[in-house]
Structure 1
Amino acid sequence: MGVYVYSITSKDHPLPLDDVSGVGDPPCRLRTVTAGDLCAVVSDAPEDLRPRRRDVMAHQGVQERLMADGAILPLRFGFTADDDQVVREVLEERAEEYRERLGRLDGGSEYHLRASWDEDALLRRILAESDEARTLNQQIRDGAGTPAMSIALGELIAQDVQTQQEALAAGIVEALRPYAREESVSPPGGQDFLNVSFLVAEDKEEMFLATEISLANQLGEECEFRLHGPLPPYSFV
């Protein structure tokens, strides 16, 4: 049977595992694998492990319980090894890297921010600010437009949308950056123009959250902010 790995931490971590259950049905018992001053929190790996809600929530619950008492390197759901010895060897081989990363994560949590802009509101803004787009749009509406003009308007709007969204995303990140140790930007999906995670220290959380609320209020209902956290710092492991 394989080994399911949840987190890596220092062996000095309190490791409050007695009241926490692992993945599997019935839940697997948690244990530790230690090498030097590092420790991995593991359990047996269920043979039929899949990302069921029950198991994903159990995985997350272990991370949150550990994170409340010290720095951890949370592994994403589904990470397994052949046996305890393999885990021990990895801890030994990458000890310096893990210790450095634990130091950087100590006292910090992840906040994940996504943002989207209402398409109709953005189109109105572009038409209000761009004389060229407004003129093309009016000619098309009046019936004097050509297929080429419609294509030109579409390309112009698409370019302006990208420019404005990129500028707004950069401005949001710049405003929040002073209150974060690190940031990790990912490609946005769907209607989002921003997908970013911040590593925020405990003593900066209040200002980070206040700044995020202020930005959302300034941009108004046209722009939707979706902030999740505090979370285990998956994006910074």
Structure 2
Amino acid sequence: MNVPDTVATPLGPLYVYGIAPAGVRAPRAPGVGGAPVRLLAESGLCAVVSRAPEQIRARRRDLLAHQTVLGELLAQGTVLPMRFAVVSPDQDTLLSQLRTDTHRLTAQLDTVRDCVEMNVKGAPVPDCFTDLVRRDEKLRLLAQRTRRKPDYEANVRLGEALAKAVRREARGAARAVLAGLAPLAVRVVEGPVDDERVLSASFLLRAPDEERFRQALAAQARDLGDRLSLSVTGPLPCYSFVQAPLVAAGR
């Protein structure tokens, strides 16, 4: 027997995968916890939901289920993706949120229409010491003094100076990567960075621009690879460019 796409009866707490325009088909893949995925339609929008399990943990099978459901939605068109573990307390609350936020959600759908997200991360290259010492006079003199009169404190000073220089070079390279890639994107959101990750940025791209973006990133990697190790993840649902009306629930 075929199960209807839309919710006919209240389901209690609902796990929410995303918001899509009305008319989208419910994904056929099972959702988190193996639950069937359904649609809640209101004001020209659809919330894509399933019954929320008693406990939600970031287990591989549930993370994969979340991604698979979103993948089916993206194959049909535009979607505002929710991050893992977003739960609405009940059907009425979610429908009310769709009614209240119709204008804002519709505007967000327009913003990410035909777009994908690409996430780029960059880390310092730790073995670029030789080139740094050759180019930096202060480091070169410090290395020479350490070789002439090696001791524990001198080695520590040289090590700290080299580490600081590596991070400085990597941060400069990260700024160059952002400057080179930003013109290709509709929007850019920068994430948190530290000494180990000096670049973390999400780029909202028009889908046809993905290949051009990858080529530009590869060129940056060739030019700056002695200072910055780059990685890219995507295409992804546009998580970083959605201001969701819902928040993750600790259930």
**Common fold, TM-score beyond 0.5?**
yes
Secondary structure of 2:192 counterpart: coil
TM-superposition CA deviations, 1:165-218 (whole Å, max 9, x none): 221111101111121111111123573321111111112112111111122222
* 1:167 aligns to 2:177 (yes or no): no
**Please, which of 122, 131, 134 is the counterpart of residue 128 of structure 1?**
134
Tell me, yes or no, if the aligned pair for 1:110 and 1:199 is still in contact at 8 Å: yes
Q: How far apart are 1:156 and its partner, in Å?
A: 4.0
AA matched with 1:83 = D
Match in the other structure for 1:33: 40
AA matched with 1:5 = V
Tell me, yes or no, if the aligned pair for 2:42 and 2:99 is still in contact at 8 Å: yes
Q: How far apart are 1:117 and its partner, in Å?
A: 2.9
Match in the other structure for 2:25: 15
* 1:141 aligns to 2:147 (yes or no): yes
Secondary structure of 1:192 counterpart: coil
**Please, which of 78, 81, 91 is the counterpart of residue 71 of structure 1?**
78
Work out the CA distance in 1 between the residues paired with 2:202 and 2:79: 17
Secondary structure of 1:199 counterpart: strand
Tell me, yes or no, if the aligned pair for 1:11 and 1:39 is still in contact at 8 Å: yes
Tell me, yes or no, if the aligned pair for 1:139 and 1:145 is still in contact at 8 Å: no
AA matched with 2:133 = L
Structure 1 runs not aligned, ≥5 long: none
AA matched with 1:98 = L
Structure 2 runs not aligned, ≥5 long: 1-11, 243-251
Work out the CA distance in 2 between the residues paired with 1:236 and 1:169: 21
TM-superposition CA deviations, 1:78-127 (whole Å, max 9, x none): 01011111111111222221111111100001111112232121x22321
**Please, which of 216, 224, 237 is the counterpart of residue 232 of structure 1?**
237
**Correspondences of 1:64-143 after superposition (within 5 Å):** 64-121=71-128, 123-143=129-149
Tell me, yes or no, if the aligned pair for 2:167 and 2:195 is still in contact at 8 Å: no
Work out the CA distance in 1 between the residues paired with 2:196 and 2:14: 39
Q: Identity percentage over the alignment? A: 30
Match in the other structure for 1:182: 187
Tell me, yes or no, if the aligned pair for 2:124 and 2:167 is still in contact at 8 Å: no
Tell me, yes or no, if the aligned pair for 2:170 and 2:228 is still in contact at 8 Å: no
Tell me, yes or no, if the aligned pair for 2:26 and 2:37 is still in contact at 8 Å: no
Match in the other structure for 2:222: 217
* 1:3 aligns to 2:10 (yes or no): no
AA matched with 2:35 = C
TM-score norm. by structure 1 comes to 0.89
Do the aligned partners of residues 207 and 225 (structure 1) sit closer, same or farther apart at CA in structure 2, a change above 3 Å counting? same
TM-score norm. by structure 2 comes to 0.84
Do the aligned partners of residues 61 and 144 (structure 1) sit closer, same or farther apart at CA in structure 2, a change above 3 Å counting? closer
